[in-house]
Amino acid sequence: MLRLGRREFDTHEPVIMAIVNRTPDSFYDQGATFRDRPALDRVEQAVAEGAAIIDIGGVKAGPGEHVDAAEEARRTVGFVAEVRRRHPDVVISVDTWRHEVGEAVCEAGADLLNDAWGGVDPKLAEVAARYGAGIVCTHAGGVEPRTRPHRTSYEDVMEDILRVTVGLAERAEALGVPRESIMIDPGHDFGKNTRHSLEATRRLAEMTETGWPVLVSLSNKDFVGETLDKPVKERLLGTLATTAVSAWLGAQVYRVHEVAETRQVLDMVRSIQGLRPPAVARRGLA
């Protein structure tokens, strides 16, 4: 059972986490949801299309303009409070590596801290424990936040992913974060080249076999673009193919830009697995 905020999700129930970036320079939408009105509209649309989690980020993942903790909080805290007011049952996640921001957003109503940089600030897990919030434990290859990997190498990339993510999850549980609110994430593209991310996908079952719920953040990422030689706006098909493979191998939570398309892929995979009946089944029965 995965428990986040007021929501509970069965072990085999796929969960969509919709991305809402409060940044003027996000790699995918170039700041389309930086201002409040478009961002709130995006939340409404994502929830209507089937997202159970809204993931709010105040800092672009890649290199760019410096954003300190105060500015990151300014971009996220008030927005978290407004989404909480409008959607009391939606799970609110905040993508941050800073414990100061984590504390502020939990005070405003966040249910989950999405630590995409792999525990670089160890106090973030302490904040999650203190507020009873969930946490995402990510493998980022030890790189500094907002830096790109350069000639990163691993003897065995999945072995390193498991060592780091399971270690972070066990530490979070020991600190008091509820076990059922902890997820692990292989961290596609973070501290990895394209071959590493492809191997992590291919071997994802090794993560799901640990018993920790697995979150994947695949949406329109560079490893998809490089694999198919496609620019950012032409990576949807590659993303959905990777989503289907990840679903088959047991991932549970999907951090995405395109909610409706992801929902269809996940429903189709579950139906093939025998976990979901067809929405309509008339063929051959008339």
| Residue-level pLDDT at 221 | 98
Return d(Cα 127, Cα 118) in angstroms, integer: 15
In the block, tokens 């999700």 appear at 9
Contact 256, 224 (CB under 8 A): no
| Residue-level pLDDT at 136 | 98
Helix pair 236-248, 194-202: axis angle to 10 deg: 40
| Residue-level pLDDT at 30 | 84
- What is the CA angle 181-220-102, rounded to 5? 35
Alpha helical stretches, state H, 14-132: 36-48, 69-86, 99-108, 123-131
- CA-derived radius of gyration, the chain: 18
* Residue 71 burial (C-beta neighbours within 10 Å; 0-12, 13-18, 19+): middle
Return d(Cα 139, Cα 116) in angstroms, integer: 8
Nearest Cα to Cα of residue 200 among 255, 144, 143, 141? 141
Residues of the chain with pLDDT under 50: none
Return d(Cα 56, Cα 126) in angstroms, integer: 20
| Residue-level pLDDT at 29 | 87
Q: What φ, ψ does residue 30 adopt, rounded to 5°?
A: 55, 40
Task: Please report the beta strands in the chain, taking only residues with DSSP state E, as ranges in sequence order.
Answer: 2-4, 7-9, 15-21, 53-57, 91-95, 112-115, 134-138, 182-185, 215-217, 253-256
Return d(Cα 115, Cα 138) in angstroms, integer: 6
CA atoms within a 13 Å half-sphere pointing along the CA-CB vector of 81:
8
